[in-house]
């Protein structure tokens, strides 16, 4: 199949484009949210940039929509109505906002375009109206069991920790930095240590590094800390589990379903979470045992092969 999708969520796209199809990503000279294209990603040759102004000539079998505006954009640019003139699926990455349970999904009042949620939590909490819905869990290209845990430190991955703040649990980081030094990876984190009022050496923002470098450096930390309050199940958490890291996780959204007790600690009691982080720092063998369990679960539930298979079934409807 020839599938059109915008490069909106890099982590999810990284998994999706490793299937057996041809993937067309709109591109513009200025890039940006409507024309990012491949953006230099190390993706298969089956992933091709297509100029945004050439979409009307494109032969496309299906469209993956990820933003409400894309429904109208496809109709305008391709002269085909999604769900009627071309097969379309709406991929919902996010938790409902602003209201947790009363927010009507933008595609709730139609039947032509199925809504594909990335977590069961999202499907349950969005008001999907009369739209057809399903869940296809995330899939992760396996980075391998890179965990060493050599450092007596904790690791976290948060994009835009200053802007997103309580959503991503940035305000909770000082509690963990009080247990052990904390390494933070992700985009736009400059100045987060100062904003949190932490002394030098307690939190180090490592920057937005290439994925392979993030995995290698993150895996040297003794445990992974996941503080998100209101996001879909973070790919960063799943990546840490694939790396064979033990995890300490705020019990929000899909976390309770994704992380079993043997893989770490999931709780809304901040004292329990910081105590668990302290145990992992003090006991490398315990940390390694939990990390192996985390990797085993991640491979079973979030492996790339089953992710792509479920999407193939969906696309074949």
End residue of a domain, out of 108, 136, 164: 136
Please check whether residues 130 and 160 belong to one and the same domain: no
Q: What is the mean pLDDT of residues 176-180?
A: 97
In the chain, DSSP assigns E strands to 2-5, 22-27, 47-51, 62-65, 87-92, 115-117, 133-135, 151-157, 182-185, 203-207, 221-226, 247-250, 264-267
Please check whether residues 220 and 175 belong to one and the same domain: yes
Instruction: For residue 15, give its domain range.
Output: 2-136
Percent of the chain topping pLDDT 90: 97
Please check whether residues 156 and 271 belong to one and the same domain: yes
Residue 317 has pLDDT above 90, yes or no: no
Please check whether residues 121 and 172 belong to one and the same domain: no
CA atoms within 13 A on the CB side of 218: 34
Please check whether residues 115 and 185 belong to one and the same domain: no
CATH code, domain carrying 253 = 3.40.50.2000
Residue 93 has pLDDT above 90, yes or no: yes
Residue 90: its pLDDT value, please? Answer: 98
Strands 151-157 and 22-27, by their bridges, are: unpaired
In a domain, 64, yes or no: yes
pLDDT digits (tens, 9 = 90+) for 186-232: 999 999 999 999 998 999 999 989 899 999 999 999 999 999 999 99
Please check whether residues 114 and 185 belong to one and the same domain: no
pTM equals 0.94
Please check whether residues 188 and 48 belong to one and the same domain: no
- Report the C-alpha gap between 260 and 144 in whole angstroms: 20
pLDDT digits (tens, 9 = 90+) for 244-283: 999 999 999 999 999 999 999 999 999 999 999 999 999 9
Please check whether residues 30 and 160 belong to one and the same domain: no
Averaged pLDDT score across all residues of the chain: 96
Alpha-carbon separation of residue 153 from 44, 150, 225, 304 (angstroms): 36, 9, 11, 30
In a domain, 143, yes or no: no
- Report the C-alpha gap between 287 and 124 in whole angstroms: 33
Residues 6+ apart with CB under 8 A from 38: 7, 25, 27, 47, 48, 49
In a domain, 145, yes or no: no
Please check whether residues 263 and 129 belong to one and the same domain: no
CATH code, domain carrying 101 = 3.40.50
Instruction: Tell me which H or E stretch contains 13.
Output: helix 10-16
pLDDT digits (tens, 9 = 90+) for 103-160: 999 999 999 999 999 999 999 999 999 999 999 999 999 999 999 999 999 999 999 9
Please check whether residues 169 and 253 belong to one and the same domain: yes
Residue 172 has pLDDT above 90, yes or no: yes
- Report the C-alpha gap between 190 and 188 in whole angstroms: 6
Place of tokens 């999407």: 311
Please check whether residues 76 and 120 belong to one and the same domain: yes
Percent of the chain topping pLDDT 70: 100
Query: Based on the structure, what is the number of domains in the chain?
Result: 2
End residue of a domain, out of 112, 136, 160: 136
In a domain, 315, yes or no: no
In a domain, 230, yes or no: yes
């Amino acid at each position: 199949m020839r599938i059109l999708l915008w490069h909106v969520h890099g982590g999810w796209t990284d998994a999706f484009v490793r299937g057996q199809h041809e993937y067309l990503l709109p591109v513009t000279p200025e890039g940006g949210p409507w024309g990012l294209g491949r953006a230099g990603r190390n993706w298969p040759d089956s992933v091709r940039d297509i100029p945004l102004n050439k979409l009307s000539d494109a032969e496309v079998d299906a469209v993956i929509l990820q933003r409400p505006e894309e429904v109208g954009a496809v109709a305008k640019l391709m002269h085909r109505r999604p769900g009627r003139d071309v097969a379309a699926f709406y991929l919902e990455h996010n938790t409902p906002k602003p209201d947790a349970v009363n927010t009507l999904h933008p595609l709730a009042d139609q039947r032509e375009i199925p809504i594909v949620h990335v977590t069961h939590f999202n499907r349950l909490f969005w008001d999907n109206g009369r739209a057809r819905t399903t869940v296809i869990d995330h899939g992760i290209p396996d980075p391998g069991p890179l965990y060493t845990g050599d450092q007596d430190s904790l690791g976290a991955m948060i994009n835009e920790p200053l802007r997103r703040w309580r959503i991503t649990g940035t305000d909770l980081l000082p509690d963990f930095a009080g247990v052990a030094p904390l390494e933070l990876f992700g985009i736009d984190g400059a100045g987060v240590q100062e904003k949190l009022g932490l002394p030098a050496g307690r939190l180090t923002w490592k920057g937005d590094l290439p994925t392979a470098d993030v995995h290698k450096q993150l895996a040297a930390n003794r445990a992974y800390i996941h503080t998100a309050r209101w996001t879909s199940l973070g790919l960063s958490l799943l990546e840490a589990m694939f790396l064979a890291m033990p995890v300490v996780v705020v019990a929000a959204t899909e976390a309770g379903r994704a992380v079993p007790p043997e893989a770490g600690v999931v709780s809304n009691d901040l004292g329990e979470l910081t105590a668990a982080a302290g145990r992992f720092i003090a006991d490398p063998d315990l940390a390694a045992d939990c990390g192996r369990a985390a990797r085993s679960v991640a491979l079973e539930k979030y492996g790339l092969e089953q992710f792509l298979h479920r999407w193939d079934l969906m696309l074949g409807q």
